[in-house]
Amino acid sequence: MEPRGSVRTIRLPDTLPEGDGMNMKKISGWTRALFVMVALLLLGGCAGLNPESEPRVSLANLQVQEVRGLETVFLVELRILNPDDTALQLRGVDCELIVDGRPFATGLSGGSYEVPPYGSLTVPVRLYASMLDMVSSVVARLQQPPPRSGAVEPLRYEVTGHVRLAGGIGGTRALPFASKGELSLLGPLPR
């Protein structure tokens, strides 16, 4: 019996076990080196499927689409910029809208889109907000002390999520994104 905490070394054989009555040849150093080189080439080839530059995502438009019962539906347009020289094949987007540091609405878009090389595309995403979350956000904002300047403070927003690109392991690859900004309560929404 070995004492606790001791390390045991296991040595692998240099030959493979016999199979079907045939002797297997000794594994040479060249065979091992060839196996390692093929594995590295395969991994390098998979890495080449990734775009060189990550796409950039920003909020292009936000509008209320529908108010019903205990839910409000927003239509968000996300601008996706492709700074790479190959087209991006999008397979979907999921995102969350955070207003003044509080989760506000979530949604997704399952459409397929192509962003041209060095181009951009707007992707519509329907976001769903619970009326309870919206009321909670309004109450939290009203409970904040007024600013010293007397001016109305803008709403701080953040859109976070994942852009799903075709390719990668399992057929898609999820790239996280985050876009922050401020919305003035006195003027129109940015377009």
Domain boundaries, the chain: 56-146+154-183
Q: pLDDT tens digits for 82-91?
A: 999 999 999 9
Task: Summarize the chain as % helix, strand, coil (round to 5).
Answer: 20, 45, 35
**pTM surpassing 0.95?**
no
Share above pLDDT 70 across residues of the chain, in percent, rounded to a whole number = 63
What is the predicted pLDDT for the residue at 21? 47
Whether residue 183 is predicted with pLDDT greater than 90 in this model: the reply is: no
**Looking at domain 56-146+154-183, does it have CATH number 2.60.120.10?**
no
The overall average pLDDT reported for the chain is: 77
Whether residue 14 is predicted with pLDDT greater than 70 in this model: the reply is: no
Residue 183 has φ and ψ, to the nearest 5°, of -115, 125
Q: pLDDT tens digits for 51-70?
A: 467 889 998 998 999 998 89
Query: Highest mean pLDDT range out of 30-39, 109-118, 149-158?
Result: 109-118
Spatial separation of the C-alpha atoms in residues 159 and 76, rounded to whole Å:
10
The identity of residue 11, as a single letter, is: R
Spatial separation of the C-alpha atoms in residues 133 and 117, rounded to whole Å:
39
